[in-house]
């Protein structure tokens, strides 16, 4: 019997980030959402590719440039095949590329809606502590304290109290709770002597 339960939480955003800018059709700033579709245009030996977005308000399209006037021979074959087939994982990676989106607009909406897949990697139900490793393949828009509260079945104020009393430690320090979870981030929780230890262990794994 181990005194610590080890779990891995994989946190997956349900919605892609939405860049905000003025929509020429409905006027005013509007969020645009990825349609998940790629448009590829070959002109001689040059290639252009766009990821197609649609205005939340009116469905007006915005073509986000992915490659511009590039020599086809200079595009990695794997990328080219993925662009041609509209490979879902490839398109998702593009849609979550916040650095690239920020070069187009400073305002990007990130939804806090996530799915969390929990896997127990060690320990058992008799544990008095939990070690959580977070896997976050794409950036998510919710704070760590909200993720932990939902994932552990506790209130956010309780999460704050656990941090304040030293029972909860998150890599990244005291402000980590207010920031989004990072890929590979670790969280340690000490449950010794707590009345709802069993419920928290069950929720964690
Ligand atoms: Zn619009």
Helix (H, G, I), strand (E, B) or coil at 140: coil
Is pLDDT above 70 for 2?
A: no
Helix (H, G, I), strand (E, B) or coil at 91: helix
Q: How far is the CA of 84 from the centre of ligand 1 (A)?
A: 28
Residue 137 has which token pair?
A: 């393949």
User: What's the pTM value of the predicted model, to 2 decimals?
Assistant: 0.84
Residue 140 has which token pair?
A: 């998510």
**Pick the residue with more confidence: 111 or 188?**
188
Q: How far apart are CA 64 and CA 34, in angstroms?
A: 9
Average pLDDT of the segment spanning 101-126: 92
Average pLDDT of the segment spanning 126-130: 92
Rg of the chain (C-alpha set): 21
Q: Which residue has the tokens 């393949």?
A: 137
Average pLDDT of the segment spanning 1-17: 90
Residue 49 has which token pair?
A: 């590719």
Q: Is 155 exposed, middle or buried (0-12, 13-18, 19+ CB in 10 A)?
A: exposed
pLDDT grade for 173, boundaries at 50, 70 and 90: confident
Q: How far is the CA of 58 from the centre of ligand 1 (A)?
A: 4
Is pLDDT above 60 for 64?
A: yes
Is pLDDT above 70 for 1?
A: no
Helix (H, G, I), strand (E, B) or coil at 174: helix
Q: How far is the CA of 60 from the centre of ligand 1 (A)?
A: 5
Q: How far is the CA of 18 from the centre of ligand 1 (A)?
A: 13
Q: How far apart are CA 180 and CA 144, in angstroms?
A: 5
Average pLDDT of the segment spanning 119-129: 90
pLDDT grade for 109, boundaries at 50, 70 and 90: very high
Q: How far apart are CA 176 and CA 147, in angstroms?
A: 12
Average pLDDT of the segment spanning 193-202: 93
Q: How far is the CA of 29 from the centre of ligand 1 (A)?
A: 8
pLDDT grade for 111, boundaries at 50, 70 and 90: confident
Is pLDDT above 90 for 154?
A: yes
Q: What are the phi and psi torsion angles at 132 (to 5°)?
A: -110, 130
Q: How far is the CA of 197 from the centre of ligand 1 (A)?
A: 50
Residue 179 has which token pair?
A: 């920031």
pLDDT of residue 136: 96
Q: Which residues of 79-118 are buried (b: 16+ CB within 10 A; e: fewer)?
A: ebebbeeeeeebbbebbbbeeebeeeeeebebeeebeeee
CA torsion sign, 188 to 192 to 194 to 195? positive
pLDDT of residue 66: 94
């Amino acid at each position: 019997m181990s005194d610590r339960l080890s779990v891995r939480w994989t946190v997956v955003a349900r919605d892609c980030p939405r860049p905000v800018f003025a929509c020429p059709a409905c006027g005013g700033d509007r969020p645009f959402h990825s349609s998940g579709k790629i448009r590829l245009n070959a002109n001689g030996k040059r290639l252009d590719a766009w990821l197609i977005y649609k205005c939340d308000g009116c469905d007006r399209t915005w073509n986000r440039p992915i490659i511009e006037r590039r020599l086809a021979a200079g595009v990695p074959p794997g990328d080219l095949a993925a662009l041609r087939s509209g490979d879902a994982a490839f398109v998702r990676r593009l849609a979550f590329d916040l650095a690239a989106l920020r070069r187009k607009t400073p305002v990007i909406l990130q939804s806090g809606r996530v799915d969390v897949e929990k896997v127990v990697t060690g320990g058992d139900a008799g544990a008095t502590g939990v070690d959580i490793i977070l896997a976050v393949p794409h950036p998510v828009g919710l704070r760590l304290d909200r993720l932990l509260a939902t994932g552990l079945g506790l209130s956010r104020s309780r999460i704050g109290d656990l941090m304040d009393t030293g029972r909860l430690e998150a890599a990244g320090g005291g402000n980590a709770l207010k920031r989004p979870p990072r890929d590979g981030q670790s969280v340690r929780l000490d449950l010794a002597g707590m009345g709802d230890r069993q419920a928290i262990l069950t929720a964690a794994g």
